[in-house]
Structure 1
C-alpha cells in the first residue's frame, strides 16, 4: 500500500469513508423499513435488498484490511486477491438471495395470497399504513443514490470492482423504491397481485446484479485476463500492455492476469533481460495509473 501514489492512497481513504457512511445509512434504512414492512411482499423484498446493501461495503472494508497486510511465510504473494474474494462473496450473496426472493414471491403469486395493508393510528390520527411504507421507501432510496454516485468516480480511479458494483447497486436503488411503491399502491386500489409482481421485479434485479458480478469475480479468481470495470470484456489497457510486451519480446508468450485491482504479467520463453524495463516504461496508459501494473515475471 505504501508504494501507491499519494492520489491513489487519498482515493482509498475516501472510499473507506464512503463505505462507513454507507453502513451507517443502510442500518438506519433497514430499521425504518422493518418498522413499517407489515405483510407486504414488495416491502419484504425491498428490505432484504437494503440489508444486502451492507454486504459489499462490509467486504470492501474487510478486503482492504487484508490487502494492506505484508506477505507472510504462508502467504508469500501477499493478500492482493482478498479484493477478488470479497467481490465473489458479495456477488454470491446477491445471486442466491435474489433467487430465494423470486421463489418466495412466485409461490405467493401462484397461491393468490392477498396482502392486507390496513389503517394504523399515528399521532392520534388513523391513516393508511401504505403511506408510511411509501415514506419509508422514499427515505430508503435517497442516501444510497447520493452515496452511489459519489463512489463511481473513486471506484474507476481505483479500478475496484467491489466498490463499483456497490455503487451501481446503490445508484439503481430508485428502481427498487419505485417498484415497491407501485406494488403498495396497487394493493391500495384493490389489485392484490401488484404486491407480488413488484417483489418479483425487485428480486430479478437482485439476481441480475449478482450474476453479472459473479462472472467477473470468477474470472479474476481463476486467473482470467483483466476485465473492464463495468463489463466482462477484456480491459483496453490490458490488451495494449500485452501487445507492448509482445512487441518488446517477440519470441515470448505473454500472459496477463488480474489480482484484485492490480495486473500481473508473465513473459515465458525468453531469458530475463539484465535491465528489465520499469512498469512506468511498459504501462500503455496514463503514467499515474502505472501503479496497477504490480508484477512482471520472466520464465525461460
Structure 2
C-alpha cells in the first residue's frame, strides 16, 4: 500500500513559512544591493587598473561576481511556478541549477586567472606602474589602485557575511556560493594591494605571485562548489547548505517514523529539491498490523510537521526494506 502526499509539491514560495518568506525577501533585496555595489566597484577598478596583473584579476573577478546574485534572482522567480504534468515536483530545483551556474563561474574565473597570471610570471612580465595626475598633482599610479582596492574590500566582507547567514536560514546553496565568491573577491582585493605595493618596492614578481595565490584559492572553492552542485542535481543524499555532511533531517525523519506504534522498520530517501526536501519513507509494519489510510496520512503529517524543509512526503508501506530502495549506509 502506498500513500502519496495529498498536498501538492507547491511553488517555492508556497513552501516557505512566514519567517523564511521574510528572510527570502531580505535576501532578494540584499542581492539587488549587491549587484549595485559590485557594478560600482567594477567601474572604479576599471578606471585605475592600468597594466597590473593583480588588478586585472580583481577586475575580471568583480565582473564574474555578478553571476551568483543574478542566478539567485532568476531562480527565485522560477520557483514561483507550481507543479505541472511536465514538472510534477515543482520548480524547486531551479535553486540547484543556480548553484551550478555560480559554481562554474567561480571555477572558470579562477582557472582563467590562474593560467593568465602563471604565464605572466613565466614570461617575466614586468607591469609598468608610472605616474598619473590627480587633482593637478603628479602621483605614483599605484596609490589610486591601492585606494580602490581598500575601498572595495569592506562592502564585500559585509555582504559576504550577511549572505552566509541567510544561506543557512534558507538552506540556499546559491547564496552560499555567492558568499564564497565575495570571500574570494575581498581576498583578491587584499592580495592585489600587496602585489601593487610589491611593484612599488621593486619586486616585479609580487604582482603575478599575488594573482596566482588568489587564483589558486578561487579554483579550489570553484571545484568544491561544482562538485556539490552536480551531486545535488544527481539526487545524492540531502546535505547541509555548506555540503559539509548529510543533513540532520535525513536521520531525524527515520527516527520519527520509528516512533510510530505500528512501525517496525523505517528508512528514507531524502532528496534536496532546493530550499525543501522530498522524502520517500519506506516503512515495514509490525507483524499482523495492517495500517489504515488514516494512519498513513497521520504518519505523513507527522513527518511534514518535523521541519519546514520536509515539504513533500510519500509514505510507502512495504513487507521488507530492499537494498535497491534504501541502500545501507
| TM-score, normalised relative to structure 1 | 0.92
SS at match of 2:19: helix
Q: 1:263, 1:294 within 8 Å by CA — same for their partners in 2?
A: yes
Aligned pair partner of 2:310 in 280, 293, 298: 293
Provide the residue aligned with 2:213 in structure 1: 201
2:264 aligned with 1:277: no
The answer on whether the counterparts of 1:71 and 1:79 sit within 8 Å (CA) in structure 2 is yes
Following the alignment from structure 2 to structure 1, what is the Cα–Cα distance between the partners of residues 121 and 110?
16
Q: 1:129 to 1:273 in 2, by over 3 A?
A: farther
| Structure with the larger helix share | 1
What's 1:255 paired with? 269
Report the CA distance shift for 1:99/1:173 in structure 2 as closer, same or farther (over 3 A).
Answer: closer
Does residue 125 in structure 1 map to residue 137 in structure 2?
Answer: yes
Compute the displacement of 1:264 (Å). 1.2
**1:178 matches 2:190:** yes
Residues 184-222 of structure 1, C-alpha deviations (whole Å, 9 max, x = no match): 011111111111111111211211221111122112101
Deviations 1:145-187 (A, max 9, x none): 1122222222211111111221233245432221111100111
Which of 76, 83, 97 is matched with 2:88 structurally?
A: 76
Give the secondary structure class of the aligned counterpart of 2:272: strand
Q: Does 1:105 align with 2:113?
A: no
Unaligned segments of structure 1, at least 5 residues:
none
Check the 8 A contact 1:49/1:206 in 2, yes or no: no
Aligned CA distance change for structure 1 residues 8 and 221 (closer, same or farther; 3 Å): same
Structure 1 position 215 matched with structure 2 position 234: no
Secondary structure of 1:277's aligned partner: helix
RMSD of the TM alignment (CA)? Answer: 2.1
Q: Is structure 2 residue 43 aligned with structure 1 residue 24?
A: no
Unaligned runs of 5+ in 2: 1-12, 285-289, 319-329
Higher alpha-carbon Rg: 2
Between the aligned partners of 2:211 and 2:185, the Cα distance in structure 1 is 14
In structure 2, the partner of 1:139 is 151
Kept in 1, the 8 Å contact 2:184–2:218? The answer is no
Mapped partners of 2:23, 2:251: distance in 1: 26
Deviations 1:207-255 (A, max 9, x none): 1221111122112101111112223311223222233335654445421
Q: Which residue of 2 aligns with 1:89?
A: 101
Distance 1:280 1:176, change over 3 A: farther
- Which sits farther off after the overlay, 60-69 or 222-231? 222-231
Q: Closer, same or farther in 2 for the Cα pair 1:279/1:8, shift >3 Å?
A: farther
Aligned residue pair count: 296
| Alpha-carbon displacement from aligned partner over 1:85-116 (angstroms, at most 9, x marks no partner) | 11011101111221111111111111111111
Q: Which of 108, 123, 126 is the matching residue for 1:114? A: 126
Q: Does the aligned pair in 1 maintain the 2:27–2:166 contact within 8 Å? A: yes
